């Protein structure tokens, strides 16, 4: 236990609201053109935070001993021998070149096992987590379709804005110079810029369920001819209360759609949804490495007389150890308050949470990635699915609601064969 005594151009990806354009063609398209400017129709408040009311002191139910594990073994990632090379895939030469430019030498297991089938038009059910290369696993076949026919369109539905933007970045990298158009449609960013992007026509829409639903209802997105549909992190979308929204969106797509369903776990409602919308999908399971084995886990006991933030600062002061620290707190306002306090005390810190403007969240993330700040305070939702390299410590300033969330949090460290440390404040 720790002692507590103390606008055009291939890389417009940064423009979250109007997406990347990789060239000049303007074919393909989402915008049905009808019903423009129609009333904003709400879909029953199921957007985000679906579990908010369930918030209770459920942490009492997690046995504190589960937050302690000293016997870390930095497991070398098992070497996977792919059965294909990217050269084997029946994809366009320019896509192969783009993959090579990303320095992807061999397909990751999920890519190796799913791409040959998806190139044949099969639906895919991928049980895989972030970090497995699942994004390229669905983007490669989709981009290949679009290169062959610029009228092809795809919709990619992701739980969070950050994940949507991460996907768009990968998409822009892989589609560079190919005249493939994408638009990111996420909540918290101005809808007007997104509408402009959609009206300019585009091949790929990447977005979060609530905003996509809004745009469909306004008649700005027409899914009736969208023959590629991706659900990314489907189980997270369920957790976040988006199940009705994604069902609604899927219902709008044509029957001959190709579905790419990705989820780390397969809870019943998601299984049912996939059963309904996928036809005989190829199921690919990728054993995600149990990163928690790479993570030394311990608790920091706080008693009534100790000032929690002072204890935190004592840790952060050990700068040669605590080089890149992700701190989790439960509520948005608590995250903001903590980050403001840390900045006041002279730390290079930032925060991401749902109340923060989308642009500001992106800026903070970039700074954290680039080591301009070395502390980021986050809510679970905001940090979900993020792939940030070299986080040395995860600190649970507040205990997560569920053990699953705990595992998800600590998985932000101890990545890529590195050792990580997770510390949980317990009262």
Binding site for ligand AMP (CB under 6 A): 104, 107-108, 111, 130-136, 387
What are phi and psi for residue 343, nearest 5 degrees?
Answer: -65, -40
Please state, in angstroms and rounded to a whole number, the distance separating the CA atoms of residues 338 and 345: 11
Q: How far is the CB of 138 from ligand AMP (least distance, A)?
A: 9
Q: Which of 410, 387, 388, 390 is nearest to 328 (CA)?
A: 410
In this complex, which beta carbon is closest to ligand AMP, that of residue 46 or of residue 108?
108
> If you ran DSSP here, which 8-state letter would residue 47 be given?
S
Q: Give strand pairing partners of 422.
A: 297, 394
3-class SS of residue 258:
strand
R_g over Cα of the chain: 22
Residue 36 C-beta: closest distance to ligand AMP, Å: 35
Nearest distance from residue 113's CB to ligand AMP, in Å? Answer: 12
Least separation in angstroms between residue 326's CB and ligand AMP is: 17
Choose between 111 and 160: whose C-beta lies nearer to ligand AMP: 111
> How many whole angstroms separate alpha carbon 345 and alpha carbon 264?
39
Question: Is 25 exposed, middle or buried, given 0-12, 13-18 or 19+ CB atoms closer than 10 A?
Answer: middle
**Shortest reach from residue 135's CB to ligand AMP, in Å:** 3
Q: Which C-beta is closer to ligand AMP: that of 29 or that of 414?
A: 414
Shortest gap between Cβ of 281 and ligand AMP (angstroms)?
A: 19
**Six token digits for residue 105:** 């030498």
- Least separation in angstroms between residue 406's CB and ligand AMP is 21
Residue number, 134 or 374, with CB nearest to ligand AMP: 134
Nearer to ligand AMP, 107 or 414 (CB): 107
At 134, give phi and psi (nearest 5°): -65, -30
CB 197 → ligand AMP: shortest distance, Å? 23
Cβ proximity to ligand AMP: between 108 and 292 the closer is: 108
Instruction: Give 99 or 315: the residue with its C-beta nearer to ligand AMP.
Output: 99
CB of 232 to ligand AMP, least distance (A): 9
Q: Could you tell me how many residues make up the chain?
A: 427
List the 182-185 sheet strands across, edge first. 182-185, 204-207, 154-157, 228-231, 258-263, 124-127, 282-285
Q: Residue 77 CB, nearest distance to ligand AMP (Å)?
A: 12
Of residues 166 and 329, the one with the C-beta less far from ligand AMP = 166
Q: Considering beta carbons, is residue 107 or 259 the nearer one to ligand AMP? A: 107
Name the minimum Å distance from CB 129 to ligand AMP.
7
Nearest alpha carbon to residue 92 among 59, 69, 119: 119
Report yes or no: 93 and 68 within 8 Å, Cβ to Cβ.
no
Look up residue 165 and give its two tokens.
Answer: 């933007």
Helix (H) or strand (E) holding 425: strand 420-426
Count of C-beta atoms within a 10 Å radius of residue 303: 7
Residue nearer to ligand AMP on the CB measure, 241 or 259: 259
Contacts of 343-347 with CB under 8 Å at 24 or more apart are 345/313, 347/313, 347/316, 347/375
Q: How far is 372 from 101, CA to CA, in rounded Å? A: 27
Strand ranges (E), 251-399: 258-263, 282-285, 295-301, 325-328, 349-352, 375-378, 393-396
Q: Which residue has the tokens 């300019």?
A: 200
3-class SS at 86?
A: helix
Residue (133 or 219) nearer to ligand AMP, CB = 133
């Amino acid at each position: 236990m720790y002692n507590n005594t103390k606008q055009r151009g291939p890389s417009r990806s940064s423009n979250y609201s109007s997406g990347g354009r990789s060239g000049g063609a303007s074919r393909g398209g989402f915008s049905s053109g009808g019903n423009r400017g129609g009333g904003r129709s709400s879909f029953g408040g199921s957007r985000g935070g679906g579990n908010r009311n369930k918030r209770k002191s459920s942490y009492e139910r997690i046995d504190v001993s589960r937050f302690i594990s000293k016997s870390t073994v930095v497991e070398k990632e098992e070497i996977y021998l792919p059965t294909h090379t990217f050269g084997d895939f029946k994809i366009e030469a320019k896509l192969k070149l783009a993959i090579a430019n990303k320095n992807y030498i061999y397909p990751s297991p999920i890519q190796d096992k799913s791409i040959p089938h998806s190139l044949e038009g099969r639906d895919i059910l991928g049980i895989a987590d972030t970090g497995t290369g699942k994004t390229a696993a669905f983007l490669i076949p989709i981009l290949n379709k679009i290169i062959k026919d610029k009228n092809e369109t795809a919709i990619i539905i992701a739980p969070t804005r950050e994940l949507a933007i991460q996907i768009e970045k990968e998409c822009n990298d892989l589609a560079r110079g190919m005249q493939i158009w994408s638009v990111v449609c996420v909540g918290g960013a101005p809808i007007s810029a997104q509408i402009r992007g959609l009206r300019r026509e585009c091949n790929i829409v990447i977005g979060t369920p609530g905003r996509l639903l809004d745009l469909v209802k306004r008649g700005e997105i027409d899914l009736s001819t969208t023959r590629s549909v991706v659900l990314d992190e489907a189980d997270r979308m369920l957790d976040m209360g988006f199940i009705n929204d994604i069902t609604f969106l899927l219902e709008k797509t044509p029957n001959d759609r190709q579905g790419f369903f990705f989820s780390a776990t397969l809870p019943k409602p998601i299984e049912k949804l996939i059963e309904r919308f996928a036809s005989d999908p190829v199921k690919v399971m990728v054993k995600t490495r149990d990163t928690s084995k790479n993570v030394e886990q311990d608790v920091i006991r706080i008693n009534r007389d100790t000032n929690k933030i002072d204890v935190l600062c004592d840790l952060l002061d050990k700068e040669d150890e605590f080089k890149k620290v992700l701190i989790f707190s439960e509520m948005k306002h608590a995250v903001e308050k903590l980050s403001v306090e840390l900045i006041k005390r002279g730390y290079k810190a930032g925060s991401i949470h749902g109340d923060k403007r989308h642009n500001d969240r992106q800026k903070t993330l970039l700074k954290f990635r680039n080591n301009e700040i070395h502390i980021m305070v986050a809510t679970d939702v905001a940090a979900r699915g993020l792939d940030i390299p070299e986080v040395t410590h995860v600190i649970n300033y507040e205990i997560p609601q569920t053990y699953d969330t705990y595992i998800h949090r600590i998985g932000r460290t101890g990545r890529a064969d590195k050792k990580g440390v997770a510390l949980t404040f317990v009262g």
